[in-house]
Amino acid sequence: MTTLWDFALDFYARPGVSAACLTLQDEAGADVILLLTAIYADIHGRPLDGNAVEALREEMKDWREGVVLPLRAARRHLRAPLPGRDAEKEKLRSAVKAVELSAEKLQLALAEAWLQRRALPAGRPLPEVIGHVLGPRAASPETEEAVERALATILAARALPSAR
């Protein structure tokens, strides 16, 4: 069985998945790590349900809020130009991006450890589980359409063979 990290790298490389994940993160409040974990659990015959999603979210909450999200905010802030210092700023942004990826890898390790200790109650179908992963979002038609396209991409990618 592949590790959750290996699965996440493979799944994220499938056509359209990275863009779909970013849409779900930015427009639907999804924790992409939680989303990938739910898909991984489903593929490996250990589907989650709403209670499991909430328990896993709580398990990862401190790490995500204390480390992953601040690093993401810093990396995104570093997109802005810094006149006369853009090369240095880009070097810093690349370093922050690498640290952010390491932090996400550790969040995946937390999720995988949680999955391994989890009892196996009956799970729910993946589309229903993903509904629990999404957060509150603006109800504009454009946002809803983008979220629905992203969800369709994710579910179609679920059925694809490994990208590696």
The answer to whether the beta carbons of residues 17 and 104 sit under 8 Å apart is no
Angle, vertex CA 150, rays to CA 11 and CA 139, nearest 5: 145
Show Cβ contacts of residue 52 under 8 Å, excluding neighbours closer than 6 positions: 118, 121, 123
pTM: 0.85
The answer to whether the beta carbons of residues 52 and 118 sit under 8 Å apart is yes
Residue in 57, 6, 3, 59 with CA at minimum distance from that of residue 35: 57
Residue type for position 29: G
Give the pLDDT score at 125.
80
Query: How would you write the pLDDT of the chain (164 residues) with one tens digit per residue?
Result: 579 999 999 999 999 999 999 999 998 889 999 999 999 999 998 999 989 999 999 999 999 999 999 999 999 999 999 999 999 999 999 999 999 999 999 999 999 999 999 877 778 888 888 888 887 766 788 888 888 899 889 888 988 777 66
Give the pLDDT score at 141.
82
Identify the residue whose tokens are 């992953």: 68
Tokens of 102: 């390491």
Give the pLDDT score at 135.
77
Report helix, strand or coil for 49: coil
Residue type for position 55: A
Total residues belonging to the chain: 164
Residue type for position 152: A
CA distance 42 to 46: 5
The answer to whether the beta carbons of residues 56 and 34 sit under 8 Å apart is yes
Residue type for position 162: S
CA distance 96 to 76: 10
